[in-house]
Structure 1
Amino acid sequence: MLGKYNRIMVPVDGSLPSIDAFKKAVHISKRNQAEIYVVTILEKTRDEEEAAYQQRSKEELHHALENYAEKENVSVSKNIRTGNAKQLIAEGLVKEWNIDLIVIGATGKGRIAKMVLGSVTNHVTRYAMCDVLIVK
């Protein structure tokens, strides 16, 4: 895409690469006066206690990221979703929020995440319907 970015999505899972991607997105947002959509995708679980713990943990993460953005005079929309991270990030949320840039960490918190490129990131770079910036 040439020109200005208006809507930036940043998937975060709490890993260092996802935090770095968020910080990069904040700076891109300042240059472009773009909106930032922070999203965390939770895996479905039948354990209600585990689901509640995941929800609280990610809300705390989002609060910390929001504080960082506020110090930079950037506002963010925070979202926690449950489902297939690959499909939601690459397709569903891009359409829903009219995203024109995804800023994503090279790897995430998955068990095998440290191998070359994370599976979610790999899928997003192949199938996203907008520009993708991978942050290492």
Structure 2
Amino acid sequence: MITNEDSSTPAPEHPRHGSADSGSRQGWAVARDGGRPEGGVCTHLAAVVEPPDPGPREVCEECLALGREWVRLRWCTTCGNVGCCDSSRGQHAYGHHRRTGHPIVISLAPDESWAWCYADEVFLVEA
């Protein structure tokens, strides 16, 4: 059984970003970044789409094939690939970006509501 980061309980189900029960949403915007006072720009905002409902299978297939666990999962907004985060041993979401050039992932963690643009190196938040 694949578990969440404490490796003792199954990862919980969670509502999808922008689902009908999460309220209305105006879209996505670049998050404020204190390290970049001039601000950041994402040239890929139009590529941010919501995971389908029902959502993607919440496993990192590459980790699963290797018998590894992961910390958090990221969903590619271009093709729907699910990969593990940079804190996971495999860093498969980033590896997917390197191989494909797909720019944006959305966090699938139930306590996170953000996306990341690898190409522009900026966090995106729901506006």
> Is TM more than 0.5 here?
no
Q: TM-score, normalised by structure 1?
A: 0.29
Q: TM-score, normalised by structure 2?
A: 0.30
